[in-house]
Structure 1
Amino acid sequence: MFYSRVCEKLQITYPIIQAGMAGTVVTPELVAAVSNSGGLGTLGAGYMSSDQIRFAVRAIRQLTDKPFAVNLFITKEMQMNEKQVEEAQHLLQPIREQLQLETVKQTVQLPESYKEQLKVLIEENVPVFSFTFDTPKQEEIELLKRQGIKIIGTATNVAEGKVLAHLGVDIIVGQGSEAGGHRGTFLGKEQDSMIGTTALIPQLVDAIPHIPIVAAGGIMDGRGVVAAYALGAEGVQMGTAFLTCYESAAHKAHKEAIIKSTDQSTTMTRAFSGKYARGIQNAFIEQLKNKEEKFPAYPIQNALTTEIRQAAVKQNNGEYMSLWAGQASPLAQIEEAQQIIIRVIKETKETLTKLQSTIYK
């Protein structure tokens, strides 16, 4: 019933991928719990150092012998505009004062290159590598393939899907605009690629039939899985659904915001990181919504707001945290990761049975 090329390629039982949510949210315990339950757990390693990634990968391997993925942000080197950085710091200063932070220093600490992170994944021979924000070089893709590592890319439009297909990825995640967290757009303006999951998936499927498509964005239960399959997808990627599980290290304020959210709670913002992302509206987003375009691109703006976000966490102040969540966040439940997989599979079967009895009455 759940056979798909996604299951076959990844050697998993159920076509459910836990999204690689970067930051401190995803723990080795969460990754292992999803993989042990028949899905594909993913370590969101975008902000981790090489040493942290190595440690986490080895911790995951202590907890599971099943396939798992590691997700990286692919960012190319960019020139820093000192004047733009100074203006951004000026715009952020009132928020720093509200959180009782000292006046910001002029230096900006950018994250480690993805190339160093990728070296660790190859050395540790991780089963699956997934990426977003841009694409690795062709020679890097080929090196991963020679190692036997399966590769998953993210597309927010058909043109990106075709680029990923040309690179030779094994699976493409079609990220609809309903999805929580950062947009994976790497071709054109992010605003032009806010395509909903229902519209995006069948177009990707038709344009790239030789590569299995995984649907992401707004999928929280078995109804979403059935809908994704009806659109031609061969699997689903779920992020927000796992944010509120017991194994998630999301802050208590983040989990509470998701549980209390409504269908109108989330919005798109680039104020936190310089890249559009979907999260629950709060004071930070509200105060900067008319100034977003003045901020530098990712990862510079992300570095400028790091201290603010860290202070908000320490002060238990959800109004200044990045509360990433998708549009279907009200469907989130508090339960173990294993129970999410069991429930979603049960709901999928029930939905299919209900559909068959309705259609063939």
Structure 2
Amino acid sequence: MSSALTELCRYPIVQAPMAGGASCPQLAAAVSEAGGLGFLAAGYKTADGMYQEIKQLRGFTARPFGVNLFMPQPQYADAAAVDVYRHQLAGEAAWYDTPLGDPEAGRDDGYEAKLAILRDDPVPLVSFTFGCPAKQTLDALKRAGTLTVVTVTTPDEAQAAQHAGADAVCVQGVEAGGHQGTHRDDPAAGSGTGLLTLIPQIRETVQLPVIAAGGIMRGSQIAAVLSAGAGSAQLGTAFLVCPESGANALHKQAMTNPVFNRTELTRAFSGRPARGLVNRFMREHGRYAPAAYPEVHHLTSGLRKAAAAAGDPQGMALWAGQGHRMARDLPAAQLVEVLAAELSAASAALALRSAS
């Protein structure tokens, strides 16, 4: 990675910004204090909510951190398909005794208001998901002293990020938990590319530093993505189960619960492909969910909250990467230390093999 990015943290370990509550100030501060790079997720929050979390995080640590923004989404969903899905979910609304949400509740996630705050009161790093910002947006953040990262899932998306002036790309493999950060949700595009294949493809396409994301749970995997050309590794599921994480306790428990033994990409909860633990809701509704984000997200938001309140993980969005069974219930600082030690051991073993 470029020196500006490597100077943000002691170890090449980035805590992924997990929207929905997991990436709270307590978790981000613990990771940054331990030598990694903590991240706040501004997605699904108001601009003021994001600002309050930034202030809280600054009260916990003076170390650098990042903030992730969701890009506004174009209007391309089929309204009739969304309405059909609404009718299919009527039984869920009755079961959880809660109304379905308004699919037209908003498309931009407060994007411009959040950008205004981040320009006026800069943070060390801002990353973007679900698209690439305009060049003038990235230039304005750069003038404010902020480094910028764009999440990409293909070489073409990486080229767009380089053209717009991003400082780095977060290369997301198909193994990653949560939403696929594609710039456009194309149902005909296929399921995605594995991380160790995607990193060299993008390194041969653009000259930007790479943060690798997707299924990484051990220091040896960090060593592997560094050997493939990444400058650092971003881990989400690995940090989700930490006590500092703001994830629901049921979500944390499900990571290693043998009842939930596999993950799949699904549109069932949000209308965009996202990887989660296969549960009843996903099995019953995944095949019928339309490509309609954020309409489906708004539609199911109340159902997911009601399922959590009822203690029912079968109705929750249990986002998880493919390596979820390797999750370790450790304090975030200890996890950073363990990952760093594993990385050091794996790197030393690799160097020894190369020298022999």
Residues 192/355 of structure 1: CA separation in 2 closer, same or farther (3 Å cut) = same
Q: Scaled by the length of structure 2, what TM-score is found? A: 0.94
Match of 1:313 in 2: 308
Residues 65/21 of structure 1: CA separation in 2 closer, same or farther (3 Å cut) = same
Q: Per-residue CA shift, 1:18-64, capped at 9, x if unaligned? A: 11100111210101111111111110111000110110000000011
Task: Tell me the secondary structure at the aligned position of residue 290 of structure 1.
Answer: helix
User: Does the Cα contact within 8 Å between 2:73 and 2:293 map onto a contact in 1?
Assistant: no
Residues 354/260 of structure 1: CA separation in 2 closer, same or farther (3 Å cut) = farther
Q: Distance in 1 between matches of 2:103 and 2:321?
A: 33
Q: Distance in 2 between matches of 1:211 and 1:36?
A: 27
Residues 206/261 of structure 1: CA separation in 2 closer, same or farther (3 Å cut) = farther
Q: CA deviation at 1:252?
A: 1.3
Q: CA deviation at 1:353?
A: 2.6
The answer to whether 1:70 aligns with 2:55 is no
Q: CA deviation at 1:141?
A: 1.1
Alignment-mate amino acid for residue 162 of structure 1: Q
Residues 105/29 of structure 1: CA separation in 2 closer, same or farther (3 Å cut) = closer
User: Does the Cα contact within 8 Å between 1:214 and 1:235 map onto a contact in 2?
Assistant: yes
The answer to whether 1:38 aligns with 2:35 is yes
Q: Distance in 2 between matches of 1:339 and 1:88?
A: 44
Residues 329/144 of structure 1: CA separation in 2 closer, same or farther (3 Å cut) = same
Greater shift in the superposed pair: 135-144 or 169-178: 135-144
Aligned residues: 354
Match of 2:194 in 1: 196
Match of 1:148 in 2: 145
Q: Distance in 1 between matches of 2:35 and 2:259?
A: 30
Q: Per-residue CA shift, 1:288-313, capped at 9, x if unaligned? A: 13212xx2511111000001011011
Greater shift in the superposed pair: 346-355 or 129-138: 346-355
Structure 2, unmatched stretches of 5+, are: none
Match of 2:105 in 1: 109
The answer to whether 1:135 aligns with 2:132 is yes
Residues 354/318 of structure 1: CA separation in 2 closer, same or farther (3 Å cut) = same
RMSD: 2.0
Q: Distance in 1 between matches of 2:318 and 2:169?
A: 26
Q: CA deviation at 1:229?
A: 1.1
Match of 1:223 in 2: 220
Q: CA deviation at 1:81?
A: 5.2
Match of 1:333 in 2: 328
Q: Distance in 2 between matches of 1:128 and 1:76?
A: 22
The answer to whether 1:239 aligns with 2:197 is no
Alignment-mate amino acid for residue 105 of structure 2: Q
Q: CA deviation at 1:354?
A: 2.8
Alignment-mate amino acid for residue 194 of structure 2: G
Residues 265/222 of structure 1: CA separation in 2 closer, same or farther (3 Å cut) = same
Q: CA deviation at 1:206?
A: 1.7
User: Does the Cα contact within 8 Å between 1:264 and 1:327 map onto a contact in 2?
Assistant: no
Q: Per-residue CA shift, 1:129-156, capped at 9, x if unaligned? A: 0011011122111111111110011110
Query: Could you tell me which of 174, 183, 186 is aligned with 1:186?
Result: 183
Q: CA deviation at 1:118?
A: 1.4
Structure 1, unmatched stretches of 5+, are: none
Matches within 5 A, 1:197-346: 197-208=195-206, 210-260=207-257, 265-292=262-289, 295-346=290-341
Alignment-mate amino acid for residue 106 of structure 2: L
Alignment-mate amino acid for residue 201 of structure 1: I
User: Does the Cα contact within 8 Å between 1:185 and 1:193 map onto a contact in 2?
Assistant: no
Residues 14/7 of structure 1: CA separation in 2 closer, same or farther (3 Å cut) = farther
Q: Distance in 1 between matches of 2:258 and 2:230?
A: 28
User: Does the Cα contact within 8 Å between 1:173 and 1:214 map onto a contact in 2?
Assistant: yes
Q: Distance in 2 between matches of 1:79 and 1:16?
A: 36
Q: CA deviation at 1:350?
A: 1.3
Residues 157/79 of structure 1: CA separation in 2 closer, same or farther (3 Å cut) = closer
User: Does the Cα contact within 8 Å between 1:226 and 1:351 map onto a contact in 2?
Assistant: yes
User: Does the Cα contact within 8 Å between 1:174 and 1:214 map onto a contact in 2?
Assistant: yes
The answer to whether 1:16 aligns with 2:13 is yes
User: Does the Cα contact within 8 Å between 1:215 and 1:235 map onto a contact in 2?
Assistant: yes
Query: Could you tell me which of 69, 82, 86 is aligned with 1:85?
Result: 82
Task: Tell me the secondary structure at the aligned position of residue 289 of structure 1.
Answer: helix
Greater shift in the superposed pair: 29-38 or 71-80: 71-80
Task: Give the fraction of aligned pairs with identical amino acids, expressed as a percent.
Answer: 35
